[in-house]
Structure 1
Amino acid sequence: MKKFLVLGVLFILPIVAYLFFASGIHNFAKLPIIEKDIPELNFTNEVKLQDKITVLGFLGTTIERDGGDLFNLNQKIFKSFREFNDFQFVYLVPEGIDDAELKSVLDEMSLLTDLSNWYFIKTTQENINNTFESLNSSYTLSQDGGSPYIFIIDKDRSLRGRDDDEDYGVLYGYDSSDIAELANKMKDDVKIILAEYRLALKKNNADRKN
């Protein structure tokens, strides 16, 4: 009996250890840089990308569709990380949007969470197009001038995502209409980039003390 127990430990333990580390390898890696030098939002003084971790979105004028996506993001992503002061949500909004519809959606969301780190920047479609194209993603804007895809921009204005995604190969952004993708991919990736900056901050503080 003891012999079989020893053999079991020798054979099974390495397999269990491998599966553990293989499943967690993405969590301990830095989130890949997909595109560098994303242009600053120079058409507004309300918010900037530099020195912030930004979830960047493109709302479009179809509020009845995009409103559900905003609620998905709030529930699956923002509420989990809202305590981080450097973490913000920025949506570019076409000038032709129905302000009353947008206000109605935001009023409902404000009942569920603090929206002080959410920014909805109304601007021209040209500015929206230029910003979207600067991401060099594989996606295109919808006819209403928006997109269900949202993007993680780091403090140096680099687009972060996955370069080894099991479904897409390169994952530029996350489909905000897909709750599973938000919960299983984006939430994990936001954790990674926030941990990355927290570790860097701790290292800088330790270096100053030394």
Structure 2
Amino acid sequence: MLISRHLVIATAALLIAGTAGCASPGDTGLSAGKALHAGIDIPGVLTSTKRTESPLTSAQVRDVNQTLPCRHPDECGVGLGSVSARTTNLVGKVYALGTRADARQRTVTFDKIDWFFGETATTACRADKVSIPPAAWCNDFYYRNRNDFQRTVSIANSATITVVDYHSAASPIPQIPASLQTLDRRFKDSETILIMTIREGLIVDLREQFTP
């Protein structure tokens, strides 16, 4: 009796599969669980440990500025390209002297300070043995600069940036929206004190502190 070659191959495949299914993981000296953990192939035991990571949302890509090159500029935000985020371990509200704002890199360089207002300013001046003049310094405000360490930190695309409108006659003097280019010019023109909110290593809000 003639037997089809395809039938022979199919029968052999079923026999092999049946044998594999009955094989005990103990024959290899490993349990199925250990084999799975070790990534060792045992007949009839699934040992793949690959998993699929959830992709970043477009907002996360824009604000975190991932280090991988962007396939499209919109993935990393306008003007960011493949620039890596410059982060800091500072958290929450931070007062600082602004040094430089880089619009292309979307970073702000600053020198962190301790800020005092009102009576606490006078107390801090006395503690630092600073002469108290008949002016706003030490009476209305004062800052302590413990060192000249400069930090450069990325600013989120969604961040709000404002500066004091010293040309306004309104009271109190209002804040107006500003670009990083405007902020950088302000740094170069005069001493500029910043109030920043930092979250997850990035600047998410930045405004200029008014000083008389």
For the criterion TM > 0.5, the same-fold answer is no
Higher relative contact order (CA 8 A, sep 6+): 1
Return the TM-score normalized by structure 2.
Answer: 0.26
> Which structure shows the bigger proportion of residues in helix conformation?
1
Which structure's CA Rg is the greater one? 2
> Which structure shows the bigger proportion of residues in strand conformation?
2
Return the TM-score normalized by structure 1.
Answer: 0.26
